[in-house]
Amino acid sequence: MKVIFLEDTDSTNAEALRRWHHFPPDARHPFAIVADIQTAGRGRENRPWESPRGGLWFSLAWPMTQPASDYQAAPLVAGATLARHLEREFDLHPLLKWPNDIHVGGRKIAGILCQAETVKEGSVLIVGIGLNCNYSAAVLGKNLRHPATSLYDETGKATDLKRLAEDLAKSLGEALALYEHDGLAPWVRHLNEHLAYRDERITCEGADGAGTLEGRVEGVDKEGCLLLLVNGRIKHIRQGEITTISNV
């Protein structure tokens, strides 16, 4: 897959989308954009994403061959792919905080932002990944929603970002092709074995638009919903955000 390296951009997700629109419809193939620095990196709900030099700021543009609703679990596919990579190449033990974060040792090392855009000429899925790499997370702002870490903090070594981006583009391309063919099934076991807060009590905000739910994390189903045990009944939550965690 083609990987385009830039010195800086506002957001690699936004840049990937702009470039996608510039291609004639018959020339739209998957590609990835990587920037050394993002000046306006974004997380979910348009939250600012700190993107200093030394991080991996990466977005993959993927032509959607199926309705956008079939790509709901794409952040989990991307998360599982990145987590496997961190396990194999860096000997880390990453966990997925449903639905879009990767944690190592209880700290956030990466965030994922997927955006689907449907246009008449052909729809695109943008899979954005931000991974803290060649700096200590101590350089990041003090008001993060969750404590952060970086590859450098975890391994004490510098990472070759170009190689990492190329490897990730390849494995993510393979993963998305498999996901289109087989759905989430090939990842469900891995996701459940690597799920942060499993068997712990959490609060889930914005749970399918139904406000805040408190319950115990039981796993993820084959559609990527979070399984939360609330008052003795399992709820399948499609959208939401895990906020507070208590072990009681």
Residue nearest to ligand BT5 (CB): 111
What's the distance, CA 208 to chain centroid?
19
Comparison of 57 and 62: residue with beta carbon closer to ligand BT5: 57
Q: Give least dist CB 6 to ligand BT5, A.
A: 12
Binding track over 72-111 against ligand BT5, x by CB under 6 A: ----------------------------xx------x--x
**What distance in Å separates the CA atoms of residue 84 and residue 12, rounded to the nearest whole number?**
23
Asked whether position 57 contacts ligand BT5 by CB under 6 A, the answer is yes
Q: How many CA atoms lie within 13 A of 199 on its CB side?
A: 2
Comparison of 115 and 183: residue with beta carbon closer to ligand BT5: 115
Residue count at the site for ligand BT5 (CB under 6 A)? 29
Tokens of 34: 């990587």
**What distance in Å separates the CA atoms of residue 180 and residue 74, rounded to the nearest whole number?**
10
**What distance in Å separates the CA atoms of residue 97 and residue 86, rounded to the nearest whole number?**
15
Closest CA to 62 of 140, 138, 128, 108: 128
Binding track over 108-147 against ligand BT5, x by CB under 6 A: x--xxx--------------xxx-x-------x---xx--
In the region spanning residues 155 to 174, those forming contacts with ligand BT5, defined by CB under 6 A, are none
- Beta-bridged to residue 233, according to DSSP, are 230
Orientation angle between helical segments 185-193 and 161-182, nearest 10 degrees: 120
**What distance in Å separates the CA atoms of residue 94 and residue 104, rounded to the nearest whole number?**
5
Asked whether position 43 contacts ligand BT5 by CB under 6 A, the answer is yes
Asked whether position 53 contacts ligand BT5 by CB under 6 A, the answer is no
- Enumerate binding residues for ligand BT5 (CB under 6 A): 11-13, 38, 41-45, 47, 49-50, 57-59, 100-101, 108, 111-113, 128-130, 132, 140, 144-145, 148
